[in-house]
Amino acid sequence: MVMDLEIDGQESAESTYMKGVRHLCESGITKVPRKYILPVSERPQLIMKKERTSTCLNLKLPIIDLARLHTSDRSQVLESLAEACKVYGFFQVVNHNISCNAMRRMIDVGRRFFKLPFEERVKHMSTDIRSPVRYGTSFNQTKDGVFCWRDFLKLYCHPLDTVIPFWPSSPSDLREEVTSYAMQAKSLFLALMEAILETLGVNTSILREFDDDGSHLLVVNCYPACPEPHLTLGMPPHSDYGFLTLLLQDDVEGLQVQCEGEWVTVEPVPNSLVVNIGDHFEMVPSKSLLAQIFSNGMYKSVLHRVLVNSSTSRMSVASLHSLPPDKMVSPSPELVNKKNPRLYKDTNFAAFLDYMSSCDTKHKNFLESRKLTQGKDEAKSQ
């Protein structure tokens, strides 16, 4: 029998929504419940490709071949990397030293976790965003007025020896596979950070803090097939907190990036990782009121979202990297002067977590909450 959440009563329906999208699908729904239906103005505009609408165009992000960083082509690669950070805020990396087998196994073990019986998955369900392991749904399930079509498993990855015992023990190889992938992702992040800092011309001593005490969060995302994908989103428009996000995805399209005000789909490139600039590396046009906290406006973090489809589930694994939770982030001194004044208050990851637990975090609201008004606020931040 197909569950009719709309007539079971509000309390029963709300309780079911909190159990996640996989649980809904396992219940046999054939329509998207009202809780997941976006206002018309926020729905994805899925128009036939023949109409040549920008929402149907695919975006070929710059591809950075990291192997060339160790050749005579290094300067050329750094130029391409800087251009990608300034213009797109997104790029794809190949020859990144994470083995194809490690990537395949990471996606596979994530997929098997979400196929576990609900009674096994629910053991890790929590609304505590500081928990070392958290299974949940939507974007911010305690605050979202409309839920998005996503379930997630969030795993803190630092320090590994402390957090691993909290991770799920099922599937039996999850801890082993996640540990292997997380270590390789961390190494790649440090290599990318070194190259990006070189393009900015700033001191690379900050890398020690990322290596020793930096925060590292792995988010395994499951976007089940949706009976009415035009009514909802897998993830709403948002930008990522922190410095860099490394995204591993299967071969199912879904990621969209906002480019010149239009939504374009990112084409998956086999054996690549998608990298995007976080709010701490943001660059926006010089006439904008926004600027990024660390690079103070040179590189940009870009709004992105996730579409779902009616035929197949999609899996992705996001590796998010930042400084230690209590480390205050300020503009790099080399990048602040009279012509390029600081425009953001100092901030840290702990402040972001507090914001996440108390606000509807859509459309870059956290970054805007740190924006300085020139004069009084700027003096207070010093």
> 19-33, pLDDT tens digit by residue?
999 999 999 999 999
Specify the pLDDT at position 301.
82
pLDDT at position 291, please? 30
The pLDDT, as a whole number, for residue 237 is 92
Lowest mean pLDDT among 21-30, 55-64, 85-94: 55-64
- Answer yes or no: are the C-beta atoms of 368 and 303 closer than 8 Å: no
**Cβ-based neighbours of 98, under 8 Å, separated by 6 or more:** 181, 184, 185, 188, 273
pLDDT tier, 224 (very low <50, low <70, confident <90, very high otherwise): very high
Least confident segment among 85-99, 297-311, 356-370: 356-370
Residue 176 has pLDDT above 80, yes or no: yes
What is the rounded CA–CA span in Å between residue 308 and residue 38? 13
- Global pTM exceeds 0.75: yes
pLDDT band at 356 (very low <50, low <70, confident <90, very high): low
pLDDT-derived band at 292 (thresholds 50, 70, 90) equals very low
Predicted local confidence at residue 222, as pLDDT: 98
Of 83-87, 183-187, 349-353, the poorest mean pLDDT is in: 349-353
Q: Distance between CA atoms of 43 and 261, rounded to whole angstroms? A: 15
Domain ranges of the chain: 10-381
Over 60: is that where the pLDDT of 285 sits? no
- Is there a contact between 8 and 24 (Cβ–Cβ < 8 Å)? no
Which span out of 163-172, 235-244, 341-350 was modeled with the highest average pLDDT?
163-172
* pLDDT for 149 beyond 70: yes
**Per the CATH hierarchy, to which homologous superfamily does domain 10-381 belong?**
B-lactam Antibiotic, Isopenicillin N Synthase; Chain (2.60.120.330)
Please give the pLDDT value at position 346: 65
pLDDT band at 344 (very low <50, low <70, confident <90, very high): low
SS3 248: strand
**Lowest mean pLDDT: which of 96-100, 142-146, 186-190, 349-353?**
349-353
pLDDT at 143: 83
Task: Give the residue, 262 or 273, on which the prediction is more confident.
Answer: 273
Q: What is the mean predicted confidence (pLDDT) over 350-368?
A: 55
CA distance 81 to 65: 10
